[in-house]
Amino acid sequence: MTTARVDDADLNRVFQRGPFTVEPFTGASRLIWEQRQHVVCGISPGNSYFQLARLTDLLGWLCEEFAQVDVVIPDSALEHTYHALGYDPQRAAKKTRGEINVLCNRVARAWKSNGGPRAVDGLHRMSDLASGAVYREKLAECEQALNEDSVLWQTCAEMSREVLAARGHDGPLTADQIERAMRYLTAELPFFLASSDIFGVPSSLNFYHRQLPLAELIFSGKSLIQASPRQAYATIRPTQ
């Protein structure tokens, strides 16, 4: 993998690639983006951004740009959100199954309309990946870091409050609710740190359509948890 230097003036460069713009977070992320070997597309349940038309455009574009595309849907992580909202275990599991099935079907339809996925691409429920050795190792690192890194904890806690508010919670939250809701983000963190190792590829890019304080904290080097040198992060959003 190339280690060519990227000048500081280029760090915030935005690349327009047809219907989407790409903003790598760091110079190292830019180098990985330029190789476009692999990308992880995380699909957030309950997010209105991921409608069928948007997914169709996005997946078609990702397959044109990247050698391999892996879509990850956080099914098992979503249950933590419903528990934090006060659902009992049986109802939380049922709500999760229904929501995730709809989302998986939507992704499959969007991909099929583009003639995909290709043989190298994949659609994964997070529960299918959570037993992997790399994932388990990185998850343990993240859980330990949350106990020791107050900035990381506060960032995860604030984002978790926003998730619960977006799903209709109104009013104060208990410490138990916040802790339970944070497990959703914690479950996603291994993909920010080491999706190249999780999927066994030379380098990998993780992205979202808006700025994420948690990703920016990690890739700025201000957290106890550090991403692999083969891991990149970018903001990718529609050009319009």
Q: How confident is the model at residue 2 (pLDDT cuts 50, 70, 90)?
A: very low
Which of 3-12, 78-87, 178-187 bottoms out in mean pLDDT, i.e. has the lowest? 3-12
Residue 19 lies in a domain: no
pTM of the model: 0.90
Q: How confident is the model at residue 139 (pLDDT cuts 50, 70, 90)?
A: very high
Q: Which residues contact 107 (CB under 8 A, 6 or more apart)?
A: 43, 55, 59, 71, 73, 123
Neighbours of 73 (CB within 10 A): 25
Rounded mean pLDDT, 126-133: 94
Give the total residue count for the chain: 240
Q: Which domain holds residue 64?
A: 29-238
End-to-end CA distance of the chain: give it in Å, rounded: 33
Structural domain total, the chain: 1
Rounded mean pLDDT, 109-115: 92
Most confident of 1-10, 73-82, 171-180, 200-209: 200-209
CB 75 within 8 A of CB 127: yes
CATH of residue 149 = 3.40.50.11710
* pLDDT for the residue numbered 185: 92
If we measure between CA atoms, which residue out of 184, 187, 209, 199 comes closest to residue 231?
Answer: 199
Q: Tell me which of 2 and 39 has the higher pLDDT.
A: 39
Does 117 have pLDDT greater than 70? yes
Residue 15 lies in a domain: no
Residue 18 lies in a domain: no
Residue 204 lies in a domain: yes
- The 10s digit of each residue's pLDDT in 185-200 is 999 999 999 999 999 9
Residue 11 lies in a domain: no
Q: Tell me which of 76 and 202 has the higher pLDDT.
A: 202
Q: What are phi and psi of 238, to 5 degrees?
A: -60, 140
Does 4 have pLDDT greater than 50? no
Does 9 have pLDDT greater than 60? no
Rounded mean pLDDT, 78-105: 93
Residue 16 lies in a domain: no
* pLDDT for the residue numbered 166: 84
Residue 3 lies in a domain: no
Residue 220 lies in a domain: yes
Average pLDDT, the chain: 91
* pLDDT for the residue numbered 8: 43
